[in-house]
Amino acid sequence: MKIRSFFSVLIFFIVSGISYADDSVYQKHIALGISALEVNNYRDSADEFKAALIEHPDDHTATLYLGIAQSRSGNKEAGPSLKKALSLNPKNPRTNLELGIFYFNQSAFSEAKEHFNATKKLAPQTELSDMAEKYLRAMDQGGSGKPWSLLISLGGQYDTNVAIIPDDRPMPLGVSDKSDWRAVVYLKGKYTFISNKNLEGSAGYSLYQSLHSNLSDFNVSQHLFDLKGSYTVTPSLKLTGTYTFEYVYLGGDGYDYAHSISPSLTLSEGNGFSTVLEYRYQYSHFMNTELFTTNSFRTGSNNLAKITQIIPLRTSVAAKVGYAHDENAANKEYWDYSGDKFFAGLTFSLPHRMFLDLSGEYYSRDFEGISPASNSGRKDTSRTVSAALTKAYSNTLSITLAQLYTRNKSNIEDFDYKRGITSLFLNVRF
């Protein structure tokens, strides 16, 4: 009995040792395969993944990456490999995306569409779903992607506290407590002049035009030009750089213009998780107007650092949380400030092609110097919540109903305000 027990223990340790050795060999082949894949050495990459599968024949990771290497090299064996990977883990968004790309390249658009739609459901609001959406649009355009895109939004808003421009910049004195209806036209065009597996470059232009029912002096025309480039270093690392130039008219007069440069880094952790690190430098030049005779005092620069984490909660729910810190330096010291922003959001994919976006943020700013509106330094704390429900009738047409509420608390009465905006938009995308 003791002899049997001894041999049982001996066999256990021998088998365990073999298992650990197998895992070490397996991990080595996976690492070498990924390294070869990153430098487009598809043959060696496929050989390494095949070797990994000898150690673990039904391993999902090795099977998926083998299919990717075969697909990139144009090997038709990619189909069976990717199908096997899908059978091992049907809810993996990367597997669905790669199988969709394989079918797209084979002009099997019906099968490709099925897997691209699955990718969007499994990993909403991620790089994987963005890539799937690009292929879906290409199929809607006859199987070949157009280098340009255009979004047109037409709608109306009721604003309980009319602001100057459609962003979160500080409001000048005298704007608070003015409510009005307005019609809004928003156009956004993009032209992609470079697009391949690792590199993309584009130029864009957008126009925001508001037409108020009563407060025509606050009609805003915002023109925004941008240049954007991105480079995919590895499947898990993407670098992006953006330059923008913005010019704003208020009531037909020049109000401000701004240049900004923003590099960012996106880290994909897998299974829909990703982290975005961003820095932005912006220089804004404000011009005096009849309504705002000291507007030029705000001219200066802003430096911002931001981190955002994307978290897939379920196949139809994605969350994002983040933090940003910015430092503002202006012509007048009392417009200098340090700001800290915390934000979070949830996106729900609902039945019948409906999408619900919920978001909230907390933004605290400490201003330097003594404000001319008071004998003390200014401190603002802003809380904003928003909800937007979009119904998509097709990949081209959708309707959005949205509500936004902001409460800015300030120790200076002129900057203490509440604001609510109700919006209804018809969106057409080409």
Using a 10 angstrom Cβ sphere, with 0-12 exposed, 13-18 middle and 19 or more buried, the burial of residue 67 is buried
CB 56 within 8 A of CB 26: yes
Q: What pTM does this model have? A: 0.69
What is residue 300's predicted lDDT score, i.e. its pLDDT?
96
The backbone torsions φ and ψ at residue 96, rounded to the nearest 5 degrees and listed phi first, read -65, -40
State how far the alpha carbon of 32 is from the alpha carbons of 28, 107, 205, 269, 270, in Å: 6, 32, 43, 19, 19
- The 3-state secondary structure of 166-197 reads CCCCCCCCCCCCCCEEEEEEEEEEEEEEEECC
List phi, psi (to 5°) of 280. -140, 130
State residue 315's pLDDT score: 62
First to last CA, the chain: 79
Q: Which stretches of 236-393 are assigned E, i.e. beta strand?
A: 237-250, 253-270, 273-286, 300-314, 317-330, 337-350, 354-367, 379-392
φ/ψ of residue 258, rounded to 5: -150, 140
pLDDT given at position 53: 85
309 Cβ neighbours under 8 A, 6+ residues apart = 273, 274, 275, 276, 320, 321, 322
What pLDDT, on a 0 to 100 scale, did the predictor assign at position 354? 86
Helix, strand, or coil here: 309?
strand
pLDDT truncated to tens, each residue of the chain (430 aa)? Answer: 444 444 444 444 334 443 444 567 778 788 888 888 877 888 888 888 888 888 788 888 889 999 998 888 888 788 889 988 988 888 889 999 998 898 888 777 778 888 998 888 888 878 888 888 888 877 765 544 568 889 999 999 999 988 655 444 445 545 556 789 999 999 999 998 887 767 889 999 999 999 999 988 889 999 999 999 999 888 778 899 999 999 999 889 999 999 999 999 999 876 668 899 999 999 999 999 887 888 899 999 999 999 999 887 876 788 999 999 999 999 999 899 999 999 999 988 787 778 899 999 999 999 998 877 677 788 999 999 999 999 988 768 899 999 999 999 999 887 888 899 999 999 998 8
What is residue 145's predicted lDDT score, i.e. its pLDDT? Answer: 53
Beta-bridged to residue 258, according to DSSP, are 246, 284
Location of structure tokens 């223990």: 9
Q: In what helix (H) or strand (E) does residue 99 lie, and over which residues does it extend?
A: helix 93-105
